[in-house]
Chain A
Amino acid sequence: MAEATPAPAPAPAAERKADAPATLSDKIHSWPYFVRAEFIAGCVLVLVLMIWSIGIDAPLEEPANPTKTPNPSKAPWYFLGLQEILVYFDPWIAGVVLPGLIIVGLMVIPYVDINPRGNGYYTWSERKFAISTFLVGFIGLWLGMIVIGVFLRGPGWNLFMPWDYWDPHKVVPLTNIDLPYFLGIRSTGWAMAFGLLCVGGWLVGVPAAVWRWKRRAEPMRQLGPVRYAIVASLFMMMAGVVVKIALRLAFNIKYVLVIPNILNV
């Protein structure tokens, strides 16, 4: 293969930013420029993978034994974010509803993010809300929870720092109480009413109030009520996970709302 004609030098960063669409329409031949880049990247990856595989063996423990449960029992590492959420939520919310919402929430992103800017280039200033929400959800919650689940959870799913001994007999007092009880409400009925008020207010009341307050603003007008309702529900549910974790860590709050046999959150 003959030596390729060198590509013109890329535009400096400041210039690229100013005329992003013009740079986007600038085209070059796939052969050799693109195929070459792919080939080199592929070679490097396969080389790294082979060296890694020569050096580090895939794990193989004792034969499967259904009568011997390891402590802790951990799901595969990429699901440990969900297993970590189990600390804060009931299994059907942590294991079924939240994963479903993550998948559906990711899928609706292109249909609710109607901001035409930032299409095809890196930018922070033109998409502050979209990027910060994504970073909190993906890096903070998804990957952050995986890191906690992989490295900091030991026997009994108790929290251990990396330098701690994994003591299987570690005793952690169960002092969690429900939010209404924490605030002095002792009757079950009133506790349920208070919990409904909190959860309903969070998921419906706050978004509705924001809509009433800001609906004449230009971004809200373009978004429209349906898209706003979808964005607000998903956003408040994700933020709710953060709030619930904070309540547990700060005040040992077990549940905010308890409806026996139906729903505890």
Chain B
Amino acid sequence: MPPDTQAAAAAPAPRPTLADRLARNYVWRSIFRHGYADTPRNRVLQVAGNVWLHLHPSKIRRHAVRFRFTWCAGGLTFLLYLVTVVTGVVLMFYYRPTAEYAYWDVKYLDFDVPFGMIMRNMHRWAAHGMVIYIWVHMFRVFMTGSYKPPREFNWVVGVVLLTLTLLLSFTGYLLPWDQLAIWAVTVGTNMARATPLLGNEGPLGPELGVTPRYDARALLTAGTVVGAPTLLRFYVLHCIVLPIFASVLMMLHFWRVRKDGGISGPL
């Protein structure tokens, strides 16, 4: 144990240090109720008494700390999600989801808004990074057998979160309203045309009276082509509906990691 730790853990020194003055006053103690000395009790309180950190258990299995074991994949996926939320809110201040303005608002962000370009860059690269990192996370969880009892259901929640991540990224892909955006989304949504029973080109679709105006694809694109109504629909899905679903399921996912006794291994 280093000397300063020993001093702090021992009985109060006769002359308080600067750190003592900072961390022993009335205001500080009203916010943080435990001392800063590195004692086992304070280590537990540091986690249990902090609303952000109490997501973690106060004691944790050794392998959960090992980068070689986890690759930090789940945590970094969540961090990338938070980056997209923060930068996404900044972008929303400058962006109007209409066919007239959308593209030019993005141009304005790129060339005139202070730090607009780096906000948009970080939003896009973090979104792509989230797709990659959630795959890394799924790979790690599979390879360590962490979906095995008691974590069967949390794996299912994770698969839904993977799907939501892909949908979040896909709906965001349309918003710059450039050639890349509308044609990628046109290719993607064209698949829905072929849905069995519900698509106008799917098996038994036309036989059931499904038309291009009223089928699974029209539900996604709000019309027969990717146009202005699609942009608004994708914007609302991207900024409100999907983030709410994803956030709620993330809470469930993290809570269950705690309840199932950590990230891996039998209970």
Contacts and interface: CB of A to CB of B under 8 A. Distances in A.
To the question of whether A and B form a pair in one complex, the answer is yes
Interface of A: 1-5, 7, 10, 21, 23-35, 37-38, 41-42, 45-46, 49-50, 52-54, 56-66, 68-70, 73-76, 78-79, 82-83, 90-92, 94-97, 103, 106-107, 109-111, 113, 115-123, 127, 131, 134, 138, 143, 261-263
Contacts of A116: 148-149
Given A62-B178, A113-B148, A134-B142, A2 B4 contact: yes
Nearest to A41: B72
Given A45-B79, A76-B169, A262-B203, A118 B145 contact: yes
B266 interface: yes
A63 B179 contact: yes
Contact of A49 (B59, B129, B147): B129
A42 B79 contact: yes
Given A26-B61, A79-B188, A110 B151 contact: yes
Nearest to B73: A41
Interface string B37-58: 1101001101100000100111
A66 to B, nearest CB: 6
Given A37-B65, A96-B191, A120-B146, A110 B155 contact: yes
**Of B143, B188, B266, which is in contact with the most chain A CB atoms at under 10 Å from its CB?**
B143
A131 B178 contact: no
Interface stretch (B25-33, B194-202, B238-246, B248-256): B194-202
Question: Would you list the 7 A-B pairs with minimal beta carbon distance, nearest first?
Answer: A120-B265, A95-B191, A110-B152, A91-B194, A53-B121, A92-B194, A24-B265
A97 B198 CA distance: 13
A38 B106 CA distance: 34
A45 B43 contact: no
B98 to A, nearest CB: 12
A52 B227 CA distance: 32
Nearest to A127: B145
Contacts of B5: 2-3
B191 A109 contact: no
A31 B194 contact: no
30 contacts: A2-B4, A10-B66, A29-B40, A29-B58, A31-B44, A38-B72, A49-B129, A52-B125, A53-B121, A57-B110, A58-B123, A59-B178, A64-B103, A64-B178, A70-B179, A70-B183, A75-B187, A79-B188, A92-B194, A92-B196, A94-B191, A106-B155, A106-B159, A106-B162, A110-B153, A119-B264, A121-B264, A138-B138, A138-B142, A263-B203
Contacts of A32: 38, 43
A122 B140 CA distance: 9
B226 to A, nearest CB: 7
Contact of A34 (B65, B123, B176, B192): B65
Interface string B191-223: 111111001011110000000000000000000
Contacts of A113: 147-148
B10 interface: no
A29 B44 contact: yes
A223 B3 CA distance: 59
B2 interface: yes
A3 to B, nearest CB: 5
Nearest to A118: B145
Given A91-B191, A121-B145, A60 B203 contact: no
A37 B63 CA distance: 12
B75 A41 contact: yes
Contacts of B201: 91-92
A258 B123 CA distance: 46
**Of A21, A32, A64, which is in contact with the most chain B CB atoms at under 10 Å from its CB?**
A64
Nearest to A99: B191
B122 A63 contact: no
B113 interface: no
Nearest to B103: A63
**Of A1, A41, A262, which is in contact with the most chain B CB atoms at under 10 Å from its CB?**
A41
Contact of B64 (A34, A57, A59, A94): A34
Interface string B113-128: 0000110111111100
B178 A30 contact: no
A49 B187 contact: no
Contacts of A35: 46-47, 53, 56
B59 A66 contact: no
